[in-house]
Structures are given as structure tokens and as C-alpha cells.
Structure 1
């Protein structure tokens, strides 16, 4: 099982269907395979041991991914937005790579596409290399030192087989992706859309008005956004119609329930999907389905309605446990550390090997709990927890309450050093355009739901919050901006 098999199946099954790009300038499945095999020839002729991709998303990215697969080397998509020193340091980890993107010694993505139309094709290496790395993704930068996550062919193909049916999409279906190529969601969307037969379009730099226009003009039926993008779409004044869009998936970061409820009310006919996953797990491991969303709206049972704050239930083939500090699995409703296992779980880092226990389970470092029906609720990263007076406080709980205020569009809650309590709770909020708020009244608003010990002692207004391109909050940068040591 390797990625070339997925492309071969697509080319043989619906080869004339445009599979990546716009209707007028995209590549069919056969054209994608041809370009990838010619790209593999370039890599093989140079004797490269990887393809490093440092450009924006677009047609060059899937060509690079499958060219690497045919050549039997890994694809390494790097964050092109990094400073020169950081990007050079990551490139230096792959000195024998063929580099696609801007910069000295690299081949720009457009030139890469042009060259792969005139090079002789390359036959794939002998079958049986499913256990070599297919993709190496460096963590998004919420820690100071990026770690290279190794995703093997067997991991990625297992994820595809566990989440998508072959050729299940109609020839008129199209998916829109708005995440950069160095994010696991970009890799996952290329291979799942290909396997389903759904045309994949990318919008590298998200703008809500442009996103809506592209959805309508390209007949997009499926789309993926991160929660901050969803909130910005809801804030659009004017035409928010979605054309032929049928399914909208959101994930990559915690989604405030207030934002999701507003989306359900704004687009009641849309199928919403909440997906939770990690780079180390080849993307999604749990899903809150469209039916789950509908059940929440139709039910008066608070137990069911609470599931809107969950990420749903694990995918088939994914084993999930909630464990206490002693490593013992916990019962339903009891919070602890989330551990996962399954064929799609890589849990492997460059130079460190697989980080799993004796049973093959990986510690996600996320906190959460399972309800009695197996729905997973995420409580945030363990290193995000605020410890105030020996009480553990989850920032997400406070953030969700503050996001319910109509004037607030974004919020971050962190703990700062405090001599008396160990840490004190502070919050930074971003206001919606044209809104104003009295900060003491905002604290009263929070206190009306939270008890006093969880109410932020200080709330400030910022113009924006430090988030990665995929919407994840970088809490250590929030702490820095408050002027406190990390």
C-alpha cells in the first residue's frame, strides 16, 4: 500500500476527470499521474533523497507529493512564511533534496510544472516501500524547536481507506481547501479527494469575500475551514450565499460552540462536520457528523445538546483511551490524557523513532474525556492548563464563555505568574468591527457563568491574536505580549 496506488486507481478509474485545480486550468487524474512520473524522473536523475516544497499551495503541490512517491523519497513541505534563518535551518536538515519553490538552487513551482510536461516519465520503484516515509511535516511552530513528523505510506493509505470510499464523489463535485501545504490537512485533502474522485481547489490566502465568491463560481460542494475562518465568514456583511456547497468541515483548532451554533442558524441546510486529528495521526481520528449536528439542534436533552462542544466519535480503525496520570484508562465522563492507536497513527519523529507505549498507543498530550456514548470532548493541551491556587483551570472553558458575548470575535486566556496564587487568569479579546465593550461589564458577563475563581482578573482588548496560519493559538506569544516570562 503506497500513495502511487491511489493515483493509479484514480487514473484507471476516472482518468479524464479534472481532479485538481479549476475547471479550466486543472489537471485530470491521468495528467496528474503523468506529471508526477515525469517529476520523479527529475528527482531520480539528480539522485535526490527528498523533495522539499517551499511554495504556496496549488497544482505544484500534488504533483510534488506523487512525484516523491513514485521516486520512493519523502515529500517535505516547509513553511515558506518562516524567516530566512529558520527556513534555511530546516532546509539544511535535507541537504540532498530536490527543492521546489523560490530561492537560490530551487526550482519555482511554476517552472516545476512546466518541466514535468517535457521530461521522460519514470516508473515507480519496486512495490513494497509502504513503510518508508512518504511525507515529513514539521510541527507548526507552537513550540520553539520544530519536530519532523514522519508519515509513512502505510499510515496515509490506512487513513484514506478508513475515511473515504473509492470513486464515491460525482463528477460535478469539488472541494475547496484553505490551508497551506505544510499542514497535515493539505496532505490529507489531496489524497482523500483524489481517492473519492472529487476535484480539489485551493485558496492559499484566505479572504472571506474571495472564499465565498470562489465557492459560488467553481460550484464547490465540500469545503474545509478552521474555526477562525468560520467566524470571519459569519461576520461578512452582505451576500453569504453558498451556491452548491453541501458540506462544510471545520477543525484544526477548538471551535467555540457559539460560533458553531450561529453557523447552523445561518446555513440550516448545510451539512456540518467537526474533525479532530493531529499530524502524528495522519489527520482526522474523530468526527462529529452532520447527523450529530442535526441531533443537537433537534434535542432538548442537555446531554445531547452538549455534544456540539465535542469532536464526535473515533473513526473506524482508531482506538482511543482516556488515561489518568498513572496510565490507567478512565471511565466515561472522567477527564484525562488522550491516547490513540491504529494503523494511521505514525507517532514517529525524525531522529527519535516512534513514541508509543508497549501497546502501540500514542500520547497526544491533549486533555479530554469520553461521554457514555463515546463522544470525545477536548479540554486543551496539558501544557495550556492554568494552575491557580492548586486548582487546574482549562483556558478553553473560559474562552467559550467569553465568546458568547456578542461584541467578541476572538479570545485568548492564559495564566501569568502570581506570588499568592501561583498563576492569575488574564484574557485578551478581539472585538467585532464597530463594537465597543466595557471591560468591567465583560468580567461580570463571564462571572455570571463562571465562578469567581475562574473569572479573568484582567481583560484587555487587542486588535488580533497570535495564531498560526491554520488558526491555532500560540499561547506562549500571548504570554509574551502580556509582558510576562514564558
Structure 2
């Protein structure tokens, strides 16, 4: 089954229903399908091996995604925030390609006659002009639908591939066709090169929900769009939610009474922030969605009822669940394993493994699946007795002090309980005595006095143990995050090295 069938079903069921709203322009499902079919004709004629997007979210992204699927060519949304040298290297890996978006930058960085270039406007115009040219059927469920480059740190980015079968399995397992009433609208503000943005398009189209695209996130613009279009659903990363709430707290708070569902993911959600959000939106259902590129998006959910129960509970076991990512989807299996691959019991920390039809675990370079089809996520965590999954960071981020594994998250949670600390990060730093030791960097909350080193060390020692006490402590105005809200620990390590 090809993912393009989702758009075809939507256009057949409700051709005149609005599918996408972007920059004030409205596109029906019939128009989107026409654009996708025309795009497929352009793609086939170009002879390309990839369809790339170097642009913000727009109707062109949807037409390119489904046009590529119809033409049987992988869709490759590129990170437009990359440095020139890094982007040029990726362009080299996908040539010959049909590339939509910032054609001037592409021509400057990687001039090649093998590539076919379209600006956003020219691509949409050309695709609509060819909308009557229905393409041949695309690849079946075994073909590659999407290729996403991972964010390489010490090596070249890997090319993660998602087959039609992976994405179809995820959508059919989580969304009911045409389940959204016509007034429903999903506000999508994550970039198109992230799996969350792609999953939002696929799931909303299959549900026949109106999609509100915000090309560049700004908290005021987000609030205004949500109010004007009466958004019913939204997905954000924690840093976005923090900025939205801060803007509301400062007085810009339009009517968001239509907002029924607020999903978040992509990074660690501070407990204080989610408690504040639950108070600020008492009638809205919050969902924490945990997933990875290689798993076609979400594999575990903490649902609205669980959020409210944990928020209101005085039972420590129940309230602690607000820091979890919930339970696995019914369509996937999750296990915690040690370094030797042995399955660990409830409560013990190790690496998270996942298995299911939506799980690709595949790269252009190689497959990461083991012989039984399990994918090692490289995320560390544990599962409690009730089946709730807790994350403790990346497996690579574990601090190994004298042979003892230390999770950065446990130290950060303790330090963030201090009223003067707005943000904190623990990383491994070299130690002559222990091999590695704890380095801690903190951000002071506005209006608070800076606590002394001894005070913070005593806090960690009292709540944890002496091995968790930082060997070095730094203070900063802000911590480095990427646009999806993920903490850049490699950048923090550079600060300690300096």
C-alpha cells in the first residue's frame, strides 16, 4: 500500500473540504491531489532518483511528498538550517534530484545540470498545470517513501529510510479514516524535515482534518493563527510550549477555547512547565508522544487522562508518571536491555529496544535491526511495574564514573527542583581519577540569586549520592537546543573543554 492512497481517499471522500491552510491560502483535498498528481508527472519526466525539499512548510511540501510517492521516488526533506558545507555534502548524496525551495542556495552550493530545480511558487504552478496527467501507480509497500538524514555529530549523517509499509502501518494503527469533523483543524509548526511534521501531515489527511501550517514558529503568530482558525489540535516541542506560555503570561492570550488536544514531544518536558500548562488549559487534553525517525514517529503515549490523574494525584507513584512518556502503542513491543542484550526487569535502566511493522530501523548504509527484528534506539530508560516508560537520556550520554553508570537526567531533575534554577544539564567530563566525572551547567531563573556551588552540591548529595556530585559547575545565560527542543550535549561538552 502506497502512502499516496491516504490523499486519494481524502479527496474522494471530501473533495471540497479544506485540507491545508498556509499563509492565508486555502487548498481543498481535490486541489492537493491534483497538485500531487501533477508533481508526479514532473518527477517522472525529470529522471530523478530523489525528490528533495529545501524549504519551510507549505502546500508545496504536501504536493512533493505525495507526488514523490505516486512517482515511486523517495522524498527527502532537507534541513535548511544546515551550514553550507554540510548541505552541499547532502546534495551530492541525492543527485540527480528534483529539488523544491531555495533554488538560489542550491545553485550556489552544488551547481549540477543533473538536478532539476523549482522555487516553491514555480513548483506549485507547474504541478497544478499538469494535474490532469495521472501518473502510473507508484511503488508498493516495499518501496522507500521517505529518506531523512540524521543529525551527524562525529560522522557523516546517516540516511534513515522509511518504507511505505512502515508509514502505512503507523497511520492505520493510530488513526481512524475520516474521523475528524469538518471544523477540526491541526496546527503544525514543526519543520517539514522532521518526522513529526511528516507524521502530522499523514495522520491529519487520513482523518480529513484541516491542516494549519505555520512555516516559521513564533509564539505570537502561533497564538494568533490558533485563535483565528479555531485550532482543535496542535503538536509542539517543549521549547515551543515554553515560549507560547511565556507569551500568554505576558498578556497576549487570545481565545483558544477550541483547542481540545495538545500533543508534545521531541525533547524532555520540564515538570514545572507541563504542570503550568495543565492549569492554563484545564479543558484541553495533553498527550506526550515519544518516537524516533527510524520508528515512523510515535511508539509510546502518555494520554490526556493520565496527564490529569498525575497532575492531581498526591500518590508519588501516580504523580511520577507525568515525567514518563506513557505506555507503548498496541502495535509495537518495547523492551529494556543491558549492554549484552539481555532483557531487564521492571525498574532497571538500560537501552530501549522496539519492534513492530512501523519500525524501519533501516539506513541506506545498513540495517540496524537485529536478527529478531528489534531496533536498538540508543535511548536509555526503564519501564515501571505498571508499564510506563521513562527516558533517562541517550545511551551515549551516560556518565561512566569509575565503572558506575550515571544518568544525566537523575542529576538534572534534582537540580531543577531548586527554585533558583531555570535549566540544567549534566554531561561527562574527563577525570584522571575516575575516567569520567559529572560536569553540571545551570541557568539561573530571572529574579533569583545565584546559589553557591556548595549549596547545589549538597542538594545533589542529599537526594542522590556522593558519586553524582558535580566535579565542575558552570553557569550560563541559556543552554543550547536545536529547533526541535533537543538539548545539544555535545555543545555543552565543548564549554567544559574550553
User: Could you tell me which residue of structure 2 aligns to residue 327 of structure 1?
Assistant: 341
Question: Which of 288, 301, 322 is equivalent to 1:308?
Answer: 322
User: Could you tell me which residue of structure 1 aligns to residue 387 of structure 2?
Assistant: 374
Superposed displacement of residue 202, structure 1:
2.3
Question: Which of 369, 372, 378 is equivalent to 1:365?
Answer: 378
User: Could you tell me which residue of structure 2 aligns to residue 296 of structure 1?
Assistant: 310
Please state if 1:41 is matched with 2:52: no
Structure 1 unaligned residues grouped into runs of 5+: none
Please state if 1:133 is matched with 2:147: no
User: Could you tell me which residue of structure 1 aligns to residue 113 of structure 2?
Assistant: none
Please state if 1:146 is matched with 2:157: yes
User: Could you tell me which residue of structure 1 aligns to residue 369 of structure 2?
Assistant: 356
Question: Which of 260, 279, 284 is equivalent to 1:270?
Answer: 284
Superposed displacement of residue 301, structure 1:
2.3
Q: Distance in 2 between matches of 1:51 and 1:22?
A: 21
Please state if 1:164 is matched with 2:164: no
Q: Distance in 2 between matches of 1:119 and 1:19?
A: 20
User: Could you tell me which residue of structure 2 aligns to residue 404 of structure 1?
Assistant: 417
Deviations 1:90-119 (A, max 9, x none): 011111110111132621112211222222
The answer (yes or no) to whether the contact 1:366–1:381 under 8 Å persists in 2 is: yes
The answer (yes or no) to whether the contact 2:186–2:212 under 8 Å persists in 1 is: yes
Please state if 1:460 is matched with 2:471: no
Q: Distance in 2 between matches of 1:462 and 1:423?
A: 22
Report SS of the residue matched to 1:26.
Answer: strand
The answer (yes or no) to whether the contact 1:173–1:221 under 8 Å persists in 2 is: yes
Structure 2 unaligned residues grouped into runs of 5+: 108-115
User: Could you tell me which residue of structure 1 aligns to residue 237 of structure 2?
Assistant: 226
- In the superposition, the TM-score normalised over structure 2's length comes to 0.92
The count of corresponding residues between Structure 1 and Structure 2 is: 483
Superposed displacement of residue 184, structure 1:
0.5
Q: Distance in 2 between matches of 1:399 and 1:480?
A: 19
- In the superposition, the TM-score normalised over structure 1's length comes to 0.94
Distance 1:424-1:204 versus aligned 2 partners, 3 A rule: farther
Q: Distance in 1 between matches of 2:272 and 2:92?
A: 44
Q: Distance in 1 between matches of 2:126 and 2:449?
A: 55
Q: Distance in 2 between matches of 1:265 and 1:422?
A: 45
For residues 16-415 of structure 1, what are the structure 2 equivalents within 5 Å? 16-22=16-22, 24-102=24-102, 103=104, 104=107, 106-126=117-137, 129-236=140-247, 237-240=250-253, 242-352=256-366, 354-415=367-428
The answer (yes or no) to whether the contact 1:231–1:409 under 8 Å persists in 2 is: no
Q: Distance in 2 between matches of 1:208 and 1:406?
A: 25
Distance 1:217-1:126 versus aligned 2 partners, 3 A rule: closer
Superposed displacement of residue 309, structure 1:
1.1
Superposed displacement of residue 9, structure 1:
0.7
The answer (yes or no) to whether the contact 2:173–2:331 under 8 Å persists in 1 is: yes
Q: Distance in 1 between matches of 2:329 and 2:125?
A: 39
Distance 1:226-1:141 versus aligned 2 partners, 3 A rule: farther
Report SS of the residue matched to 2:6.
Answer: helix
Report SS of the residue matched to 1:480.
Answer: helix
User: Could you tell me which residue of structure 2 aligns to residue 470 of structure 1?
Assistant: 484
Q: Distance in 1 between matches of 2:253 and 2:165?
A: 41
Alpha-carbon RMSD across the aligned residues, in angstroms, is 1.9
Report SS of the residue matched to 2:497.
Answer: coil
Superposed displacement of residue 215, structure 1:
1.5
